[in-house]
Chain A
Amino acid sequence: MTPFTPKELTEQDVLALSAAREEPDWLRDRRQEAFKAFADFAWPHRKMEAWRMTDPRRFDLERPVALADGPSPSAPSSIVAAAGELAASATLSDAGLRDVEVGESGVEILDLSQASQGPRADVVKESLGAAVGAEGKFEALNLAAFTAGALVHLPAELIVDRPISLTVHVDAEGTHIPRILITTGHHARGSVYVTFTGDADATVIEALEVVVGDEARIDLVTAQQWGDRVDQIATRRGTVQRDASYRPLDAQLGGKTSYIRPDVHLAGQGADGELLGVSFADAGQHFETRSELRHDASNSHAEALYKGTLQGESRSVWYGNIRIEPHAKQCTSEETGRYLILTDHARADPLPFLEILTSDVQGCGHHSSVGQIDELQLFYLLSRGIPRRAALRMLIFGFFSEVTERIDLPGVTEAVLGEVADSIDEEAIVLSDPRRTH
């Protein structure tokens, strides 16, 4: 088949893609349906609320899709390298899933197109599009035209102690449309590390959906660790069933543009969601995170906590929303976005919102701040003999500690802070003026 571009995508392209991936009719139909939604949505533009802070023109939509695989990634991302022993692993690249290793873990990692007609067809049929549907232009585009997909399935009651790693590798110029579906049966537990590696002049339009079954728990790490030429749009959402728990951590470290919606949909009574994020925006990088905590059932709890540092000419936007539906009683929800500006020319905008449609709320709040490294704190550390470089690092790690102290996944904090430490430009750091805080 001939590579299409997102801008010029046609129904024929979608059908040809489905045929090339040898998908069953039901999946082809679902893609086709999504295409119709895609065709009906307008392309995002600056005047749309969701695109006020990130110019959609940052994404080149005229790059043809990459459909063939290059060589396998030569080395794992730093997070996976630090994780130690893995329960299972695989790489998702342009032609589909490869390098699958599941050993005796009981975890199933399957190519999405193939899974849609194998023994797990029922799982895909039930869950594909359940958390991230054709709800917007890019979401519909992904569902209609995902070029490569992965299913990670934890059957009921399976408890996986070691991390499950899925590497999304991009090394070819063009558009990449990966889709990841993570599902669990009831009472299953595991942690999935999705790391994004490689570099190319690339546009990535990703969808990641997680369906967490009754009383199950998924810890998810998504880590943008690619080079500085990749522009990425991602919609990620966990749908959390009764008394289940979903805890995604997003580490925004690499890429040029990154526009990410990490959401949780608390669908069952007593569901729990904890969205965490750390980011380090360096010169030339533009990050936007739009998190939503959506309470769709009573007694559900959620928290979003995003912390980021910025350096050089960079921008970070966090738009957080808490939505409590009228029938969701006695919920607690809290969202926080805090940013630390290290140098001149960086800008951060934390923007929390609330949509509370019931009066029966247990607790609900939001916090946001933008600051600089406090010169008095730095002086305190220096006066105890700690050299400037180590002292700055200590303060920056201290800033992130609110998030890192909640992470108990192997290798993650260590690798993320390692990446942060490597990126700090001590010479350029501008401190808050002590005279103002004296």
Chain B
Amino acid sequence: MAELKIEGLTAEIEGTQILKGVDLTIRQGETHALMGPNGSGKSPLSSAIMGHPAYEVTGGSVTLDGEDVLDKDPDERAALGLFLAMQYPTEIPGVSLTNFLRTAVNTLRGEELPVRQFMSELREHMSDLGMDEKFLQRNVNEGFSGGEKKRFEILQMAMIQPRIAVLDETDSGLDVDALRVVSAGVNKLRGPDLGVLLITHYSRILNYVEPDHVHVMLDGRIAQSGGKELADDLEESGYEQFRVSA
């Protein structure tokens, strides 16, 4: 059972401290929701986990099954089984989506998947996510709408089969129907082999993707942890209550 353990993680960007000591443990098979106001540091946390070049980790540790993650390059972290669905996926003009995905899948699964098998898996997941076949002709995120980008992130997760996935606001920018489809896509991937950290502003998605744990982030720290009821509580009373107690 893989375990991602974050302890006392601090990080800064351009000399400004953004993460001020984050503690969080996510195991394969579990789903955690992370909520918090704008600017509280949710994306910086997910970026630091994946090794985003803009964030400098200044203290604490992140380990996967005891193995240090922080001294590794992003591709090595992916090879360990980490995945990040980004809040703002990057457009990469000129790089074909299929070529990109095939390279990623072959690298991470450690075997040259036969093209036919690759394509049939891809088509199946695309249809689950309500993605048109025409996407196969396109370049990575280039000209995608906000919702299309989010679907494509989940499609990658489905193809790559990570052990621990961080989904940074995968629900924002999705209309009600899309939210249902994407949630169903995520649910289909959940199981004993996948741990999920779901970052969101809205408890709406949590009605579809039921979390085992909910955490509230405030000002670069986890201010409160609890069960699903914590999300409902937040929906009613906002973040102010935690600020006072924090």
Q: A residues touching B (Cβ–Cβ < 8 Å)?
A: 374-377, 379-388, 390-391, 394-395, 397-402, 431, 434-435, 438
Knowing A394-B103, A435-B14, say if A387 contacts B94 (CB, 8 Å).
no
- Nearest-Cβ distance from residue B73 to partner chain A, whole angstroms: 6
Which residues of chain A are within 8 angstroms of B13 by Cβ–Cβ distance? Answer: 435
B84, CB-defined interface residue at 8 Å: yes
Q: Return the chain B residue nearest A436 by Cβ.
A: B54
Q: Which residue of B lies closest to A399 (CB)?
A: B94
User: A residues within 8 A CB of B103?
Assistant: 386, 390, 394
Q: List 10 A-B contacts (CB under 8 A).
A: A379-B90, A381-B95, A381-B100, A382-B74, A383-B51, A384-B156, A386-B107, A397-B95, A434-B54, A435-B54
Task: Please report the C-alpha to C-alpha distance between residue A401 and residue B51 in the assembled complex, in whole angstroms.
Answer: 28
Q: Are A397 and B94 touching (Cβ within 8 A)?
A: yes
Which residues on the A side are within 8 Å of B86 (C-beta)?
A: 380
What B residues does A435 contact at CB under 8 A? 13-14, 54
Tell whether, in the assembled complex, residue A388 and residue B160 are in contact, meaning their CB atoms are under 8 Å apart. no
Mask: chain B, 71-115; 1 = CB below 8 Å from A; 0 = not: 001110111000110100110111100011001100110000000
Complex Cα spacing A438 to B84, Å: 17
In contact, A385 and B94 (Cβ under 8 angstroms): no
B50 beta carbon closer than 8 Å to chain A: yes
Shortest distance between the CB of B198 and any CB in chain A (Å):
18
Report which residue of A381, A397, A402 has the largest number of chain B beta carbons within 10 angstroms of its beta carbon. Answer: A381
CA distance A397 to B139 in the complex (A): 13
Minimum Cβ distance to chain B for residue A430 (Å): 13
CB closest chain-A residue, reference B108:
A385
List residues of chain A with CB within 8 A of the CB of B84.
383
Residues in chain B near residue A375, CB distance under 8 A: 53
Contact with A along B53-67 (1 / 0, CB 8 A): 110000000000000
The 3 closest A-B pairs by CB, nearest first: A398-B94, A385-B78, A401-B94
Give chain B residues whose Cβ lies under 8 Å from the Cβ of A385: 75, 78-79, 104, 107-108, 160
Q: Are A400 and B107 in contact (CB under 8 A)?
A: no
- Complex CA distance for A354 and B208, rounded to whole angstroms: 58
In Å, the complex CA distance between A48 and B182 comes to: 62
> Which A residues touch B83, using CB under 8 A?
383
Per the bound structure, the CA–CA distance linking A390 and B103 in Å amounts to 9
* A391-B75, A434-B53 known, 19 other contacts, Cβ within 8 Å: A379-B74, A382-B73, A383-B51, A383-B83, A384-B100, A384-B104, A384-B108, A385-B78, A385-B79, A386-B100, A390-B103, A394-B103, A397-B95, A398-B95, A400-B94, A401-B94, A401-B95, A434-B54, A435-B54
Q: Once the chains are docked, how many angstroms separate the CA of A435 from the CA of B84?
A: 19
Residue ID in chain B nearest A374 by CB atoms: B90
A388 to B74, CA, bound (A): 9
In whole angstroms, how far apart are the Cα atoms of A390 and B90 in the complex?
A: 18
Distance in Å: Cβ of A438 to nearest Cβ of chain B: 6
What residues of A have a CB within 8 angstroms of the CB of B79 in the complex?
385
Known contacts being A384-B160, A391-B75, is A379 close to B107, with CB within 8 Å? no
Cβ of B52 under 8 Å from chain A: yes
Q: A390-B103, A434-B54, A435-B14 are in contact. Are A383 and B78 (CB under 8 A)?
A: yes
Minimal beta-carbon separation of B128 from chain A (angstroms) = 20
Query: Chain B contacts of A399 at CB under 8 A?
Result: 94
Check A386/B104 contact, CB under 8 A, given A381-B92, A401-B94.
yes
Provide the bound-state CA to CA distance between A383 and B160, in Å: 11
Chain A residues whose CB sits within 8 angstroms of the CB of B50 once the complex forms: 379, 383
Q: Please state if B94 and A402 are interface contacts (CB–CB under 8 Å).
A: yes
In whole angstroms, how far apart are the Cα atoms of A382 and B80 in the complex? 13
Whether the Cβ atoms of A395 and B92 lie closer than 8 Å is yes
Could you tell me the distance between the alpha carbons of A381 and B139 in the complex, rounded to whole angstroms? 13
CA distance A401 to B95 in the complex (A): 8
Q: Which residue of B lies closest to A396 (CB)?
A: B94
Selected contact of A387 from candidates B14, B107, B160, CB within 8 Å? B107
Give bound CA distance, A423 to B234, whole Å: 56
Complex contacts, B92 vs chain A, CB 8 Å: 377, 380-381, 395, 398
Q: CB distance B53 to A379 under 8 Å?
A: yes
Contacts of A383 in B (CB 8 A): 50-51, 74-75, 77-78, 83-84
Are B107 and A377 in touch, CB under 8 angstroms? no
A394 touches B100 (CB 8 A): yes
CB-based nearest B residue for A398: B94
Q: Is the CB of A394 within 8 A of B54?
A: no
From A374, A386, A397, B75 is in contact (CB under 8 Å) with: A386
Nearest CB in chain A to that of B162: its residue: A385
Q: Which residues of A contact B89 (CB under 8 A)?
A: 380
Chain B residue contacts of A376, Cβ below 8 A: 90
**Least CB distance, A276 to chain B, in whole angstroms:** 15
A382 to B74, CA, bound (A): 5
Cα separation A374 to B89 with both chains bound (whole Å): 13
A395 touching B107, Cβ below 8 Å: no
Nearest residue in B to A384 (C-beta to C-beta)? B104
Task: Find the residue from B14, B86, B94, B160 having the highest chain A CB count within 10 A.
Answer: B94
A390 CB contacts on chain B under 8 angstroms = 103, 107
Shortest CB–CB separation between residue B163 and chain A, in angstroms? Answer: 13
CB distance from B11 to the nearest CB of A (A): 14
CA–CA, A398 and B86, complex, Å: 21
In the complex, A433→B220 CA distance in Å? 24
CB of A112 to closest CB in B, whole Å: 41
A398 / chain B contacts, CB cutoff of 8 Å: 92-95, 139
| A375 to chain B: closest residue by CB | B53
Contacts of A379 in B (CB 8 A): 50-53, 74, 90
B52 CB contacts on chain A under 8 angstroms: 379, 434
Task: Give the nearest-CB partner of B104 in chain A.
Answer: A384
Q: A167 CA to B89 CA in the complex, in Å?
A: 46
Closest to B140 in A: A380
Q: Please name the residue on chain A nearest to B77 by beta carbon.
A: A383
In whole angstroms, how far apart are the Cα atoms of A380 and B156 in the complex? 12
